[in-house]
């Protein structure tokens, strides 16, 4: 089944047409220019740019290679293992495209223990299979199929089954204080997103001014059917127009009680804040229960979680968009939750365990087939949220070189953010970077940001039409070298080889 609401961002968030993503005359494949072994002038120029104190005072690994030959034209601490932040997504996405295939899809299915008798079944199992794009509209489509299967009553309620992944919902290497933040949601085999941003395992809390000064703000939820699972505590006050706003939206750990506190000014427009929820599988079962009731199916019992029995009858099924689209949806805005779904799904390749440990092992084994992987490389999640992850600039460059040889390279290349492009569906996390330089609408790369960490790895083409593959990983305690990394990108783009 297709998912029209999963395509709300339009064709720009599909495998992007090269005419939108590339300069005139440029293709995703490296240009067939004579191979370079060295470029002393370029190496000298890059060394000068990287002599900046924001680089020299930190730990920075850099490799720049000619894309067509793989020859390293510049290196600095190439084998130093540094936390890659979201550059880890390059590894996870490439592994998923290689091992699962660009056409891979995820299903979410509804099962009954047996065929309905006079329209009645004892339970309805909502079984997730790791789909990171499931939304309320998809549950409505499932409910339509349930009715079409002749089911009018579910006496024992809906059972949410997130067991495609293990019960370890929050990675042990993530900061425990991040549990409230949308970028650190719980990862379950059955989950739900509130919008086309696909922040898995979250809801959106909305607030706007109350009816008058001194009144409480008006609060809401997206999806609205989350009400009853999520409890909102309103500790807000509406203040005079123009007085500004200071709002805190915080979920109490291990609960689904979200407290909204602070002040909001009159005449302020509605604001949405994305917050994680606890137990995504139960949450999805709750929303599905309410969807079924709205569709006219009698579901008297409250939703629960559990395992789908082996003896069962399928009554409905939903299929996600293909992996090729999902990779773009996660790479452009740097979506952590979607990437963690890929990591745990990869864990089920061979070992059949949907765990972070199994996923990391599969990814490492795959990475070792692309190059020699040093023992200093550490993989503990898929998105790079954990500081414990460690990669080197050389490992990333060799990965990017390998990607160029694969049939899915155009999908991978076009999924990368494009420097200086004002359209977020193309520019992604690079929309506001390298604007007005030769790198704008040229450099395709993945950004990475954690506290004390910045990274940038990808591809850029110079004025002669020669493409470079590069990786820059930086650890710092003072000023970030990010601006210097942008200067390197612009320097490569403006170079004449």
Half-sphere exposure of 105 (CA within 13 A, CB side): 13
> What is the per-residue pLDDT for 11?
36
| Cα distance between residue 156 and residue 428, in whole Å | 45
Q: Taking the chain (497 residues) in consecutive chunks of 10 residues, what is each chunk's mean pLDDT?
A: 39 35 42 72 98 97 97 97 98 98 98 98 98 98 98 98 97 95 97 97 97 96 98 97 90 96 94 97 98 98 98 98 98 98 94 92 97 97 98 98 98 98 97 98 98 98 97 97 98 96
Question: For residue 212, what pLDDT is reported?
Answer: 95
Q: Which residue is catalytic, options 3, 67, 68, 89?
A: 89
Q: Would you call 89 a catalytic residue per the annotation?
A: yes
The single residue listed with the structure tokens 């809906």 is 158
Taking the alpha carbons at both ends of the chain, their separation in whole angstroms is 50
Catalytic residue among 67, 68, 83, 86: 86
64 touches 45 (CB < 8 A):
no
DSSP state letter for 82: B
Report yes or no on whether pTM surpasses 0.85: yes
Q: What is the DSSP string of 376-433?
A: T-B---SSS-STT-BB-HHHHHHHHHHHTTSTTHHHHHHHS-BTT-S-HHHHGGGTTS
318 alpha carbon, distance to own chain's centre: 21
CATH assignment of 4-103+324-494, among 3.40.640.10, 3.40.710.10, 2.60.40.10, 3.40.630.30: 3.40.710.10
458 in the Ramachandran plot: left (φ > 0), alpha (ψ -120 to 50) or beta?
left
CA dist., res. 96 & res. 94, Å (int): 5
**pLDDT of amino acid 38:** 84
CB 457 within 8 A of CB 416: no
Domain 107-168+279-320 classification at class level: alpha beta
Based on the residue annotation, tell me whether 334 is a catalytic residue of this protein: yes
CA atoms within 13 A on the CB side of 431: 11
Residue 86 annotated as catalytic? yes
pLDDT of residue 79: 98
How would you label 182-209 residue by residue, b for 16+ Cβ within 10 Å and e otherwise? bbbbbbbbbbbbbbbbbbbbbbbbbbbb
- pLDDT attached to residue 32: 55
Which position among 83, 182, 334, 457 bears the catalytic label? 334
What pLDDT score was predicted for residue 12?
36
Cβ atoms of 61 and 78 closer than 8 Å:
yes
Q: What is the pLDDT of residue 497?
A: 87
Residue 26's pLDDT is 42
Instruction: Show me where the domains of the chain are located.
Output: 4-103+324-494, 107-168+279-320, 202-276
């Amino acid at each position: 089944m297709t998912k029209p609401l999963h395509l709300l961002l339009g064709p720009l968030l599909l495998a992007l047409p090269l005419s939108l993503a590339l300069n005139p005359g440029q293709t995703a494949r490296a240009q067939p220019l004579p191979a370079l072994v060295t470029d002393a002038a370029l190496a000298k120029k890059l060394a000068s740019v990287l002599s900046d104190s924001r680089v020299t005072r930190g730990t920075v690994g850099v490799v720049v290679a000619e894309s067509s030959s793989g020859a390293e034209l510049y290196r600095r601490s190439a084998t130093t293992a540094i936390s890659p932040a979201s550059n880890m997504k390059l590894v996870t996405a490439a592994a998923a495209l290689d091992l699962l295939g660009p056409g891979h899809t995820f299903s979410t299915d509804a099962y009954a223990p047996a065929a309905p008798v006079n329209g009645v079944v004892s339970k309805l199992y909502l079984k997730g299979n790791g789909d990171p794009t499931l939304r309320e509209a998809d549950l409505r489509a499932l409910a339509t199929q349930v009715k079409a299967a002749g089911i009018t009553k579910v006496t024992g309620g809906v059972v949410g089954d997130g067991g495609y992944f293990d019960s370890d919902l929050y990675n042990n290497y993530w900061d425990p204080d991040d549990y409230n933040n949308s970028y650190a949601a719980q990862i379950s085999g059955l989950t739900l997103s509130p919008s086309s941003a696909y922040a898995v395992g979250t809801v959106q809390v909305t607030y706007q001014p109350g009816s008058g000064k001194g009144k409480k703000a008006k609060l809401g939820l997206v999806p609205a059917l989350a009400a009853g699972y999520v409890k909102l505590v309103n500790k807000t006050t509406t203040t005079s127009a123009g007085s500004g706003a200071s709002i805190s939206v915080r979920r109490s750990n291990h609960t689904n009680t979200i407290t909204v506190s602070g002040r909001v000014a009159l005449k302020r427009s509605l604001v949405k804040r994305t917050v994680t929820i606890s137990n995504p599988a139960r949450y999805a079962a709750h929303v599905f229960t309410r969807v079924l009731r709205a569709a006219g199916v009698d579901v008297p019992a409250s939703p629960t979680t559990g395992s789908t029995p082996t003896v069962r009858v399928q009554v409905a099924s939903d299929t996600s968009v293909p992996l090729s689209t999902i990779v773009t949806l996660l790479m452009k805005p740097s979506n952590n939750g979607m990437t963690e779904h890929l990591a745990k799904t990869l864990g089920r390749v061979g070992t059949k365990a949907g765990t972070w440990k199994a996923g990391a092992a599969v990814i490492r084994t795959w990475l070792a087939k692309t190059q020699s992987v040093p023992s200093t490389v550490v993989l503990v999640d898929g998105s790079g949220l954990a500081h414990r992850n460690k990669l080197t600039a050389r490992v990333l460059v060799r990965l990017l070189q390998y990607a160029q040889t694969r049939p899915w390279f155009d999908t991978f290349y076009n999924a990368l953010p494009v420097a200086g492009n004002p359209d977020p569906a193309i520019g992604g996390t690079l929309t506001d970077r390298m604007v007005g330089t030769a790198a704008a609408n040229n450099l395709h790369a993945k950004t990475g940001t954690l506290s004390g960490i910045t990274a940038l790895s990808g591809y850029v083409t110079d004025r002669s039409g020669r493409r470079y593959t590069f990786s820059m990983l930086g650890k710092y305690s003072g000023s970030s070298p990010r601006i210097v990394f942008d200067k390197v990108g612009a320097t490569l783009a403006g170079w004449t080889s």
